[in-house]
Copies of this chain bind each other. A is one copy, B any other.
Amino acid sequence: MNAMLHTIEVAGIIAFASSGFIEARRKRMDIVGVFTVAFITAFGGGTLRDLLLDRRPLFWVENQEYPILIFVLALIAMPFLRHLRHAVTESVLEWADALGLGLFSVTGTSLALEAEMPVFICAMMGVITGIFGGVLRDVICNEIPLVFRRSQLYATCAFSGCWVFLFLNWLQASEALSLLAGICTTFALRILAIKFDWKLPA
């Protein structure tokens, strides 16, 4: 179970960072910008959650190998970034991103629950963990956050997954089962939303 969560985590971080790489390159940033935007995309949501919950040490402080990983990826990837979009098929990135969204959101909710937050706040903290990296990426790149525009369901998938986790937890299901069900719900909803172009009414 833990090994699986760890694998999902690394896949999610790389997917989130990649969307930062791509966006930063599109804005013609140099390597400092590329690294920073990738870093903020990957860890911004979790950092905001930890600031709000007053948790220390921060996730990426405790695991300095993750910032180093992104730093090395940025160094290696710079010359190839122009071609990254073509090299990695779009759908691989989307699947990894959907997995990361599920994992980050549901573990965010779980951490808020541990900190004895009220239940609606727990769901919010999960969504914040999942989506605010991308929000900060777009703010720094001077765009209106993608997740707030009329695109395929994204935050809604995270919100649903968090509630599934909270509901199973309330039924006193095991931690592992609740996490897994929440992550799968988010993942499945997100993949379906992309496939069938589901959007919120406006």
Residues of chain B within 8 A of A148, CB atoms compared = 24, 27, 29-30, 32-33, 36-37, 140
B54 touches A202 (CB 8 A): no
Residues of chain B within 8 A of A28, CB atoms compared = 149-150, 202
Q: Which A residues from 135 to 182 make CB contacts under 8 A with B?
A: 135, 139-145, 147-151, 154-156
Chain A: number of interface residues, binned into ranges: 35 or more
Convert A44-80 into 0s and 1s, putting 1 for each residue whose CB lies closer than 8 angstroms to a CB of B. 0001000110101010110010011001000000100
Question: Which one of B121, B141, B156 lies within 8 Å of A61 (CB-CB)?
Answer: B121
A31 touches B142 (CB 8 A): no
Q: Which 9 A-B residue pairings sit nearest by Cβ, starting from the closest?
A: A33-B148, A64-B118, A30-B200, A32-B155, A29-B148, A30-B150, A64-B120, A142-B144, A54-B56
